[in-house]
Amino acid sequence: QVQLEESGGGMVPPGGSLRLSCKASGGASNNYARAWFRQAPGREREFVAVTRWRGGTVTYYADSVKGRFTMSRDNDRNTVYLQMDSLKPEDTATYYCAEGHRLITSSLPLPSAYDYWGPGIQVIVSS
């Protein structure tokens, strides 16, 4: 059983930066993906970024965050990070960390493909 916990959210003005963390405990796999999704009030949960470990490592980003957000990891701490720069008001949402195992590439942006979710953390971008 995998447990995920996000941290690092908060409120920043437009143009500001935040770094979210997602620490995992439990479970072990050499073929898994860990992703960030977000959900704004009244909207569906949407894909933000994902890193998949399957032999090598590959990371994908949603077009809306490409060039502004960067996903990274610390293997020793079993933690992934989402560095968010040049934040915009439309980035305001609850951000969720998720993990799925043995996912095919086409399923990586789909919330339904993930088995484990963190409780979420709020990010507010406002002046």
Q: What is the dihedral of CA 25, 21, 120, 46, to 10 degrees?
A: -110
Q: Tens of pLDDT along 34-78? A: 999 999 999 999 999 999 988 788 999 999 999 999 999 998 899
Q: Tens of pLDDT along 69-114? A: 999 999 889 999 999 999 999 999 999 999 999 888 999 999 999 9
Contacts for 111 with CB less than 8 Å, ≥ 6 apart: 37, 45, 47, 98
Angle subtended at Cα 117 by Cα 116 and Cα 121, rounded to the nearest 5 degrees? 165
